[in-house]
Amino acid sequence: MDECRTVGGTCTTNVRAHDCVAVLPSVKKFALGLGGSYGRGVMTCRGGKDFKGKWGAPTMMALEGASFGLQLGGEATDFVLLLMSSRSASGILASKVKLGGDASAAAGPVGRTASAETDVTMQAEVLTYSRARGLFGGVSLEGSTLRPDNDANKDLYGKNVGAKEIVMEGAVKSPPCAATISTLDKA
């Protein structure tokens, strides 16, 4: 088991043990039997052939989903996804699909969960940490896509550059607004 630190009452895995990190703050979810979710965030990976180098430039990501089940309410959830290998980053950037069942409960700012996710090819190795706020309850079957947000990448870098080029090939340098990424090297 990876080294564990407690942050806000939640056990977090040491970021040094992972090749990529994706952060999706405030993903919105609303449901009345049928539900939907949407959020935007960022993903960054370690550089170098073996993913052991410094953290690279970020790529923008979008999460969209639909659900069906016995569910009611609305919530905003902050997600941190720890991608455990370069294969998991490639899987998310290529197939972009997460399948799964979800049991959710949130009341105020106290809902917290941790889970392991995979992509449609069952190749991605991803640990997901989340914290939910709102009033939501239910059990659902859902499918969500985590996809590159290429329009946001164009806005950020001023040119068309694909997420795979940014993350896997280091095609661009981190913009000044992403200067805090270097703090991950100290984690």
CB 156 within 8 A of CB 175: yes
| Bridge partners for 93 per DSSP | none
CB 88 within 8 A of CB 36: no
Helix runs in the chain, H state only: 86-94, 150-157, 163-169
How far, CA to CA in Å, does 5 sit from each of 15, 30, 44, 46? 10, 32, 21, 21
pLDDT tens for each residue of 42-58? 999 888 767 778 888 99
CATH 1.10.3720.10 for domain 17-172, yes or no, is no
pLDDT at 104: 44
Q: How far apart are the first and last CA of the chain?
A: 17
23-32, 87-96, 100-109, 163-172: range with lowest mean pLDDT: 100-109
3-state secondary structure of 172: coil
- The CA distance from 91 to 123, in Å, is 7
Q: What is the dihedral of CA 115, 129, 52, 14, to 10 degrees?
A: -100
pLDDT at 60: 93
* pTM of the complete model: 0.74
pLDDT tens for each residue of 103-126? 444 444 444 444 445 444 444 477
